Amino acid sequence: MPSWREHEELSLVFMPRIRIWGIKMKFAVATVVFFLFVTLASAQTRPIPTRHPAIDAPASSQSAPAPNYEFFSILDGSPMLLQLHHDTEAGTNKPIDVYDFVIELQVMNSDGDFEPVGLQIHNFYTAQPQDPKGDINPRNSRDCGIWNKLVVQEGQYRSPANKTWPYVEFTVAEGARVVQTNEDGSVFWSDDVECWGSSDRFPPF
């Protein structure tokens, strides 16, 4: 069994190594945390374009039933661009006008996790409905243009005393129908999208 002095000599040998190992571990942890912070920060501030629907989403058949309009995906954010494209339908080459409505995600979309604030989403939908006679609101596309204009104007002339900021809300019905175009890929039929105005206490990004 080692004597007290032998214990003391062993501690003198191993203690510096333990201290060096501890310093190295602290440095490694600090390095990992730093790079994680930089990655998350860049993801927060760098706009990364994406789109809805997926560019290769399968087209709905002409006889596909309309959604029941009970459930919607909801996107709130800042309107960045509303642009009309003169496309053609895949397979038939028939002219079909399509809108690209770009909305930028804001802090208001956060659920407490890290969110891609600044992410710009391109929402594609037709200028005309698939079923104008049977549609609940055949003017959804027109309404999106109206709300875009109103929200942009309100943001430009917003009073500093106002405690909220204006945003646009873009909703897509669950089971929304899709048509494929030669130029922009898959787009939603405007029958199944809606736009609204909204406001929130968080300022825009």
Residue 205 lies inside a defined structural domain of this protein: no
H or E segment and range at residue 8? helix 4-45
Whether residues 31 and 73 share a domain: the answer is: no
CA distances from 137 to 62, 109, 203 (A): 19, 27, 32
pTM for this structure? 0.74
Whether residues 34 and 73 share a domain: the answer is: no
Residue 79 lies inside a defined structural domain of this protein: yes
Residue 193 lies inside a defined structural domain of this protein: yes
pLDDT computed for residue 178 by the predictor: 98
Whether residues 122 and 181 share a domain: the answer is: yes
Whether residues 75 and 99 share a domain: the answer is: yes
- Of all residues in the chain, the percent with pLDDT exceeding 70 is 73
Which residue reads 């104007």 in tokens? 153
Whether residues 65 and 104 share a domain: the answer is: yes
Q: Alpha-carbon distance 127 to 140, whole Å?
A: 9
Whether residues 101 and 34 share a domain: the answer is: no
CA distances from 109 to 43, 106, 198 (A): 15, 6, 12
Q: Predicted confidence band at 107 (pLDDT cuts at 50, 70, 90)? A: confident
Q: Predicted confidence band at 33 (pLDDT cuts at 50, 70, 90)? A: very low
pLDDT computed for residue 202 by the predictor: 85
Which residue reads 């600044």 in tokens? 118
CA angle 169, 173, 175 (to 5 degrees): 150
The residue that leads in pLDDT, 48 or 174, is 174
The residue that leads in pLDDT, 7 or 170, is 170
Whether residues 27 and 111 share a domain: the answer is: no
Whether residues 42 and 54 share a domain: the answer is: no
The number of folded domains in the chain is 2
Whether residues 7 and 88 share a domain: the answer is: no
pLDDT over threshold 90, residue 45: no
- Of all residues in the chain, the percent with pLDDT exceeding 90 is 60
> What is the DSSP code (8-state) at residue 25?
H
pLDDT computed for residue 54 by the predictor: 95
Range of the domain at 165: 50-200
What integer best gives the mean pLDDT of the chain?
A: 82
